[in-house]
């Protein structure tokens, strides 16, 4: 059985897979005001339809920044948590964002 394979075709296939992998950066429309971090972070999760978890005690008395517009959840969280003493970790397997104190 003769199979004619165009040169570089596999590179194209690999490239498409890589593009698919790296372009998995879905953006969402956010509209969250500055204020109580617990409320704002749950709003963030619901607006992006993603999962989030945090220790309520750790976030007590901390306010997060406002974020508005269409962006990737990571970018939105970076803006919300900037200069708050909080940061996030995203679990690769469960795809859940955990918010923790620095």
Partner 1 sequence: MKNTGNRSDLSDTAREQTAAEWIVKHEYGLTAEQQDEFLDWLTEDPKNRQAYITQSWAWGEIDRLAGLQKTDHAPVNSNLFDEIEIKPFYRKHAITMSIGIVAMAASLLLFIGLFIFENTKQTPQTKESTSVVFNRIEKQQFDDGSSAILNRGAVVSVEYTAEIRLVQLLKGEASFNIEEDINRPFIVEVKGVHVRAVGTQFNVKLSDESVDVIVTEGVVAVSMQNTDNAGVGESILEAHHRANIEIQGESMDVSVGVIEEVELAEELQWHPVLLEFDNASLIEIIAELNTRNEIEIIIADPSLESIRISSVIWSDNVVGFVGLLDSYFNIDAKQLDPQTIVLDNQK
Residue 79 near residue 67 (C-beta atoms within 8 A): yes
Q: Which two tokens stand for residue 89?
A: 């970790």
CA distance 80 to 101: 14
Q: Is 92 in the site for partner 1 (CB under 8 A)?
A: yes
Q: Which of 56, 61, 83, 102 binds partner 1 (CB under 8 A)?
A: 56
Among residues 39, 34, 22, the alpha carbon closest in space to that of 99 is found at 39
Sites for partner 1 among residues 9-28 (CB under 8 A): 10, 13-14, 17-18, 21-22
Which residues here bind partner 1, judged by CB under 8 A? 1, 3, 5, 10, 13-14, 17-18, 21-22, 38, 41-42, 45-46, 49-57, 59, 89-96, 98, 100
């Amino acid at each position: 059985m003769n199979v004619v394979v165009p040169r570089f075709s596999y590179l194209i296939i690999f490239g498409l897979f890589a593009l698919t992998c790296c372009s998995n950066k879905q953006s969402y429309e956010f509209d969250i005001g500055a204020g109580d971090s617990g409320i704002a972070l749950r709003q963030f999760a619901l607006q992006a339809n993603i999962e989030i978890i945090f220790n309520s005690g750790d976030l007590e008395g901390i306010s997060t920044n406002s974020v508005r517009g269409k962006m990737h959840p990571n970018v939105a969280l970076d803006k919300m948590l900037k200069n708050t003493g909080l940061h996030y970790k995203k679990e690769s397997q469960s795809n859940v964002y955990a918010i923790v104190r620095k």
